[in-house]
Amino acid sequence: MAEKNNLAMICIAILGVVTVAFGLADILVSAGGDGTGLSILEIPGDMFRGGWGGLIVLFAGLFYLSGCKNVAEVHNASKVAMGSVLIWIMAGTDIFAMITESIPGGEDGPWFNSLSGFLGTYAPPYTPAMFLLPFSLVVVYYILKQERTKSTTPP
Amino acid sequence: MNFKVATLVIVSILALSLTIAADAHMPGAKPLPDFELTPIVINDGETEVEITIEDVGKYHGDICVCGSCAFRATQSGISQIWGDEIPARDDIRIISRLPTPGSKDCFQYITGTGQGLETNTKGEYKMILPDGTVVANMTKKNLKKPSKQVSIDYFKFDICRISTGESFEVAVKEQVFPDGYFELRKKVKFGIPENATSEEKALFKSDWENIRDRFLTSPDWQLFDGVEEPEEENDVAGGAIFFSILVIASFLLVSLMYSKRSKE
């Protein structure tokens, strides 16, 4: 059990460090004023999504780091869950923006997008929060599973 | 007497070297940037000919601003009118407003109308200034006078398909040239309205290099008016994969919620 907890701690700590790095990158890039993109990763450069959003991602990372030590303990588990919720907010808004963007045909185009245009909207690059989304789901799944085990185990 | 002759010879050589320097396009200009320009492919009678910017540079003596501009303009005009077809040299007519030796040599090389060029067929090349003046005598000496007036309005070229009468005007975008470039050019090259200072000469040299590099490296739509920016191809496969993941994930989430509710 202790070994399993250690492994969870390491995984959440790594996730926390990566999240903090993404948050800082978001803030620094938007401070520079210009968005930047690697092949599949796009760091937004505007003040709202990049600056404010970066701050949220940064705090998600800090929550992960402060809660990773003993996830079995309810306070730490809630911090990690909080971090995940912050990631979901950011990734959720990004995905929602993607969906709304994919339907209309563009400024000078027709009302509705073509099939290739529609699917092309979902193509990379993606924001850092979207990359963190699957990992944040795994973390919450782990916490919920642990809580369930606790509640079913007789004292 | 011998001393006088020797002095005269030395002075003549020096004067000649100065003339060469003044004639050269930009003495001390930095080397050409890394660039990749596809050659202009034309049919010269029965043979297919590839004309590269290096060929044009060799014919003219250097790859300069006007030469590279003329090359890119011809390339752009041909692709607008002929599309993927290979034009016949004798089907090409170029009408240029630009009275500079660099552009003249480039157009003459492409149309095969220049001196010392041996081609099977010849296209047409005309120089008509923006005020309508037809320049028939295209010697360097004769071009010097109209060349003083050169401004953005002169950087326009009509590329025509003689057989069909189709024509496309290639006009260089204003933003290709820095602000005040043409006034500076007048000052540095012709001393109008007064001789340029050494700072102005240095600025002109750097502007000249930047413009030349722009003509060698920028895409057509950034250089010429009326050329549309090519649309980025959608990564349909990548988008389809992500969209499928989204749909599957949403389906799983909904079914998980329903199954839990039904258990309760």
Please report the DSSP string for B10-37 in residue order: HHHHHHHHHHHHHHSSSTTPPPPPP---
pTM across the whole model: 0.60
Average pLDDT over residues B163-169: 94
When CB atoms are compared, the residue of A95, A118, A120 closest to B246 is: A95
Where are the alpha helices (H) located in B123-178, listed in sequence order? 140-147
Whether the pLDDT of residue B20 is over 60: the answer is no
CA distance A120 to chain B (A): 5
Asked if B246's CB is within 8 angstroms of A119's CB, the reply is no
Q: State residue B9's pLDDT score.
A: 60
Share of chain A above pLDDT 90, in %: 54
**What gap in Å lies between CA B72 and CA B63, rounded to an integer?**
12
Q: State residue A61's pLDDT score.
A: 96
Mean pLDDT computed over every residue of chain A: 89
Token couple for A32: 């520079």
Q: Predicted confidence band at B178 (pLDDT cuts at 50, 70, 90)?
A: very high
Q: State residue A75's pLDDT score.
A: 93
Q: State residue B21's pLDDT score.
A: 36
Which residues are CB-contacts of B156 (< 8 A; sequence separation ≥ 6)?
Answer: B96, B97, B98, B130, B169, B170, B171, B172
DSSP collapsed to 3 states, chain B: CHHHHHHHHHHHHHHHHHHHHHHCCCCCCCCCCCCCCCCEEEEECCEEEEECHHHHHHHHCCCCHHHHHHHHHHHHHHHHHHCCCCCEHHHEEEEECCCCHHHHHHHHHHHCCCCCCCCCCCCEEEEECCCCCEECCCCHHHHHHHHCCCCHHHCEEEEEECCCCEEEEEEECHHHCCCCHHHHHHHHHHCCCCCCCHHHHHHHHHHHHHHHHHHHHCCHHHHECCCCCCCCCCCHHHHHHHHHHHHHHHHHHHHHHHHHHHHC
Mean pLDDT computed over every residue of chain B: 87
Q: State residue B227's pLDDT score.
A: 86
Q: Hey, is the C-beta of A153 within 8 angstroms of any chain B C-beta?
A: no
Helices A74-102/A128-152 angle, 10° precision: 140
Asked if B246's CB is within 8 angstroms of A121's CB, the reply is no
Q: Is residue B183 within 8 Å of B148, Cβ to Cβ?
A: no
Q: Predicted confidence band at B89 (pLDDT cuts at 50, 70, 90)?
A: very high
CA distance A118 to chain B (A): 8
Whether the pLDDT of residue B186 is over 70: the answer is yes
* Dihedral sign of CA atoms A8, A13, A18, A22 in order: positive
Token couple for A10: 């390491």
What is chain B's alpha carbon radius of gyration, rounded to the nearest angstrom? 27
Q: State residue A147's pLDDT score.
A: 83
Q: Is residue A58 within 8 Å of A17, Cβ to Cβ?
A: no
Dump pLDDT digits (tens) for A64-112.
999 998 888 899 999 999 999 999 999 999 999 999 999 998 777 788 9
**What is the phi/psi pair of residue B27, to 5°?**
-60, 135
Q: Predicted confidence band at B74 (pLDDT cuts at 50, 70, 90)?
A: very high
Token couple for A129: 């929060």
Q: Hey, is the C-beta of A96 within 8 angstroms of any chain B C-beta?
A: no
Which residues of chain B lie closer than 8 angstroms to A120, CB-CB?
234-236, 239
More confident residue, B44 or A110: B44
The structure tokens 């079995």 sit at A72
- Closest chain A CA to residue B245: A122
**Domain-embedded: residue B234:** no
When CB atoms are compared, the residue of A116, A117, A123 closest to B242 is: A123
Asked if B246's CB is within 8 angstroms of A123's CB, the reply is no
When CB atoms are compared, the residue of A95, A118, A123 closest to B235 is: A123
Q: Is residue B106 within 8 Å of B67, Cβ to Cβ?
A: yes
CA distance A3 to chain B (A): 30
Dump pLDDT digits (tens) for A52-65.
999 999 999 999 99
Average pLDDT over residues B110-124: 92
Q: State residue A35's pLDDT score.
A: 67
Domain assignment of residue B131, given as a range: 37-223
**Domain-embedded: residue B194:** yes
What pairing do the DSSP bridges indicate for beta strands B124-128 and B92-96? parallel
CA distance A76 to chain B (A): 26
Q: Name the residue ranges covered by the structural domains of chain A.
A: 2-152
Average pLDDT over residues A14-34: 91
The identity of residue B206, as a single letter, is S
Q: State residue B129's pLDDT score.
A: 94
ipTM: 0.83
Q: Predicted confidence band at A154 (pLDDT cuts at 50, 70, 90)?
A: low
Q: State residue B2's pLDDT score.
A: 60
State which H helix or E strand residue A36 sits in: strand A36-37
Mutation target to probe the A interface, by most A beta carbons within 10 A, among B234, B246, B260 is B234
Asked if A116's CB is within 8 angstroms of B242's CB, the reply is no
Q: Predicted confidence band at B18 (pLDDT cuts at 50, 70, 90)?
A: very low
**What gap in Å lies between CA B202 and CA B198, rounded to an integer?**
6
**Domain-embedded: residue B147:** yes
Average pLDDT over residues A132-143: 93
Dump pLDDT digits (tens) for B204-222.
999 999 999 999 999 999 9
Q: Hey, is the C-beta of A151 within 8 angstroms of any chain B C-beta?
A: no
Which residues of chain B lie closer than 8 angstroms to A92, CB-CB?
none
Q: How many residue contacts between A and B have a Cβ separation below 8 Å?
A: 32
**What gap in Å lies between CA B186 and CA B209, rounded to an integer?**
17
Q: Is residue A91 within 8 Å of A60, Cβ to Cβ?
A: no
Q: Predicted confidence band at B22 (pLDDT cuts at 50, 70, 90)?
A: very low
**What gap in Å lies between CA B181 and CA A17, rounded to an integer?**
51
- Closest chain B CA to residue A130: B242
Torsion angle, alpha carbons of A78, A80, A86, A87, to 10: -150
Q: Hey, is the C-beta of A39 within 8 angstroms of any chain B C-beta?
A: no
What pairing do the DSSP bridges indicate for beta strands B134-135 and B124-128? antiparallel
Token couple for B206: 């750097």
Mutation target to probe the A interface, by most A beta carbons within 10 A, among B231, B243, B244, B247 is B243
When CB atoms are compared, the residue of A95, A119, A126 closest to B234 is: A119
Q: State residue A85's pLDDT score.
A: 96
When CB atoms are compared, the residue of A95, A118, A124 closest to B235 is: A124
Query: Distance between alpha carbon A104 and the CA centroid of its chain, in Å?
Result: 27
Q: Predicted confidence band at A116 (pLDDT cuts at 50, 70, 90)?
A: confident
Whether the pLDDT of residue B7 is over 80: the answer is no
Lowest mean pLDDT among A71-75, B4-8, B19-23: B19-23
Q: Predicted confidence band at B94 (pLDDT cuts at 50, 70, 90)?
A: very high
Q: Report the number of distinct structural domains present in chain B.
A: 1
Average pLDDT over residues B153-175: 94
Q: State residue B220's pLDDT score.
A: 92
Average pLDDT over residues B71-76: 95
B165 HSE (CA, 13 A, CB side): 0
- Closest chain A CA to residue B236: A120
